[in-house]
Structure 1
């Protein structure tokens, strides 16, 4: 038996001792997809070991703590909280006992380059007033757009978001719905069908950027995000998004299962075409009945599996795929508070279509930028020392195919971001910053093992969605399963948690493997 997949056969050791005879599931990576998968597999009777490369769980949702400030590394927007509540229910616990969510109102403030702003809200009367303030003639179109996104949400999220697309026939079955929903249109194209004002077209089309999508290219099915937010709201977890990570880690521990940090997986071990375990970077080998990868999907196929064992996701196909944008993130703490700044602000630069084209198509680091500014201390002051604020400023940038040398470019780019924020929302910022750090696409590649340094895996265009996206149950390897942004249904917390939910349909019951 060739368990290494590359000719070697190191001895396999279990991770739970001989006392525990439950089937063993290994989960690679402890992002939200991996943690949710571990909880679901534990609830179904598996003995679970989660293996995390970093020194703490969370992956992109880890937290940086320095100088008394707490910086959430990645996700900050919680929608569809029922997906978290469901995980606690599986363990016989109440989500609200462990995590406190606060509803955001407004959801975001969208600031245009000329200083005008639109408050994007869950209150429909306020939204109508904001639309009318910009373009009274677009009110009727806005109402029609809202009705359309509700239909898209019902089909795209409620009916298809938790369904595995394992066969081409699954895709053909939903094709009539996709055509009826005009899924061949882009998000921007769908918005432009209903709204004439160019600023409102931006306001209602930016959402794909939150999940690594180009609004001018991704399928209009992603307009469902508009209704998803309207239905359940936008929330923040007190203590930071990492409080959700800590809560999930607690559930896993209470199930008697294990999260191992500083445990990087070097390869997935195979017996023929079946996953039977993993080998760690330190040489340790762990056996498993099933393997679930929450690592970046392209990285999983390209670096953890030999090419000879792959039929669909060979290196050439992975290299030719389209990938999401990269991210430049500047985390900073200030020795003063900026009370007038909301929790979520989107600052738009002088260009919209042109900047997005530079990021996704031309792959050049432009002189201008747009920013998402996160100020969690607007809601939870405990994330900074008394009288201080915690921030991060995120700028979508090209992934590493741009050729940008971030070792050289990062600090000049940060200074431009700082100068822009100081001139717009944060006066005196340069003198107020007392703690800071950065992440660039290069860090996403080396720290998070994200192929090409892309922030969200493959770009969610129609030809890389549903059946066309890497499947939840690997097409190439038996007993290998994929969760996270790189598989169906895609990036964002609802998508990632839904990918773990799909495991209930594709992973065999533990009793079947005893």
Structure 2
């Protein structure tokens, strides 16, 4: 039975959901409030420079391949990938950095040179991480978070103790060098939580890092957005931008459509890939599943202060991805999660896409992206933004032994207020809800509304969680739930 399905938002989860729903034979239309698609993965261009505005790490390539394979396609049908070597570089001081290579054997050698005996420990640690990856990413995350029983499998029962230890504790049992510890703790930051609060089962992120490597779509992450958009259009999806959603209309406790730019558009089913909290504000209070008290009690992943910078020269002593851990790693985490405030000495991340992609900047120039993780919901103003830009650029110049301030042609900042304005992000969060033990799987906000029939959700605030690969999976999960609700049992598809 063909249904008319309207999707709010055009981020990765919404785009993925649109493809699956159209493949099922439904009439699908995406409505995006901004003038371009992609959500947080939009693209920004200025004066010959090109920037990905959000996600810039391409990890878990198998998840992307699995997505396109569901449509008898390959990623190479839509974009080209480059494996980065080094994958990234971590700076701890002046001329003091560790480069992470593109293969585990080289990384083991790097570890061994720093801490005797750590190569073998790393091999064992990554083998464990791979085992967890095979359970989590190839199975568990493709379950819809309906029941706690989804987590109970022969494989997970053998790893039950890993849900009650933490990533930080397990890493510190094996390694003593603080620099190596920080490198191993870093990947779980993609899950939006402190390593000391993240179940050790999530060390599968270390396999995603060291085992599968860091990749870069040839001209940036927006290549992936364009690729999925092309697939969606091939499947018959319609996409409308500059479409402000003002209300989700409910009749007889059933989603009946949406009001877009003042006009009512009828639907059989409504799916929101927009911020979950914001989406519920589009409903009358009686139809909202989660209260303001609920949202305020959740642990949210950080917001971010971003800078998109154009430089009129090439930068030296730097890699495509660079992490700056020359200050107290733990104190910055405290300033995000425990005592939310602007950090006195922030860690930061820098990305120079023009190191890999010559189209990202004019000849002889460099495009630079800087990111400082911040607590969601804190004060945001231009004075603070400028103060922190000065802090990190001064440190960048010192750590990489070069001047760049005088070579800045332009810069654009993007912070908490912009996340609220552009994405309706709750408290201006950048990465959704953290994957802590009490916010995992069935303990996350549900894909299906409990109060409104035919209303569904997808994205980083629901199952399975934050990150681009989980967003693709979330789109598949919600499409499967919808398929199950509108098809006879004999036609149900498996995930």
TM-score by length of structure 2 reads 0.93
Instruction: Find the counterpart in structure 2 of residue 473 from structure 1.
Output: 448
Tell me how far 1:399 sits from its aligned partner: 1.1
SS at match of 1:277: strand
Q: Deviations over 1:197-237 (max 9, x none)?
A: 22211110111223322222122232111112344322111
**Cross-structure match for 1:73:** 53
Mapped contact 2:94–2:398 kept (Cα < 8 A): no
- 1:317-361, Cα deviation, whole Å (9 max, x unpaired): 112212111101111011111243211111113201111111111
- Residue 134 of structure 2, aligned match among 154, 161, 172: 154
Q: Is the Cα contact below 8 Å between 2:380 and 2:416 reproduced in 1?
A: no
How many Å apart are 1:131 and its aligned residue?
0.6
Offset, 1:93: 4.3
* 8 Å CA contact retained: 1:324, 1:458: yes
Aligned with 2:420 (options 445, 468, 475): 445
Partners of 2:171 and 2:254 lie apart in 1 by: 45
- Runs of 5+ unmatched residues, structure 2: 489-495
In structure 1, C-alpha distance between the alignment counterparts of 2:463 and 2:201, rounded to whole Å: 13
CA distance in 2, matches of 1:423, 1:507: 54
- How many residue pairs match? The answer is 488
Instruction: Please state how far the C-alpha of 1:43 moved relative to its aligned partner.
Output: 1.0
Taking the TM superposition and a 5 Å limit, the aligned residue runs for 1:289-328 are 289-301=268-280, 303-311=281-289, 313-328=290-305
What is the rounded CA distance, in whole Å, between the counterparts of 1:107 and 1:25 in structure 2? Answer: 40
Q: In the alignment, which residue of structure 2 is the partner of 1:108?
A: 88
Find the counterpart in structure 2 of residue 398 from structure 1. Answer: 375
Compared CA separation, residues 505 and 392, structure 1 to 2 (3 A): same
Q: Distance in 1 between matches of 2:275 and 2:158?
A: 27
The more displaced of 47-56 and 285-294 is 285-294
**Alignment partner of 1:284 out of 253, 263, 276:** 263
1:67 and 1:435 in contact (8 A); partners too: no
Distance 1:347 1:512 in 2: 51
Superposition pairs for residues 86-235 of structure 1, below 5 Å? 86-113=66-93, 115-171=95-151, 177=157, 180-235=160-215
1:53 equivalent to 2:33? Answer yes
In terms of mean alpha carbon deviation, does 167-176 or 365-374 score higher? Answer: 167-176
Show structure 1 runs of 5+ residues with no match.
1-20
- Name the CA distance, whole Å, in 2 between partners of 1:93 and 1:315: 42
Secondary structure, aligned partner of 2:242: coil
Residue of structure 1 equivalent to 2:228: 248
1:50/1:479 Cα in 2 relative to 1: closer, same or farther (>3 Å)?
Answer: same
The separation in 2 between residues aligned to 1:175 and 1:234, in whole angstroms, is 27
Shift of 1:44: 1.1
How far apart in 1 are the matches of 2:484 and 2:25?
A: 8
Separation in structure 2 between the aligned mates of residue 511 and residue 307 of structure 1, nearest angstrom: 27
Conservation of the 8 A alpha-carbon contact between 1:344 and 1:375:
yes
Q: Is residue 318 of structure 2 the alignment partner of residue 338 of structure 1? A: no
Q: Distance in 2 between matches of 1:318 and 1:198?
A: 35
Contact residue 178 and residue 184 of structure 1 kept, 8 A = no
Cα displacement (A) at 1:510: 9.0
1:261-302 Cα offsets, whole Å, 9 max, x none, are 11121222222332222112x21111222222111122223x
Structure 1 contact 297–457 (Cα < 8 Å) conserved: no
- 2:335 aligns with 358
Deviation at 1:480, TM superposition (A): 2.1
Alpha-carbon distance in 2 for matches of 1:454, 1:511:
34
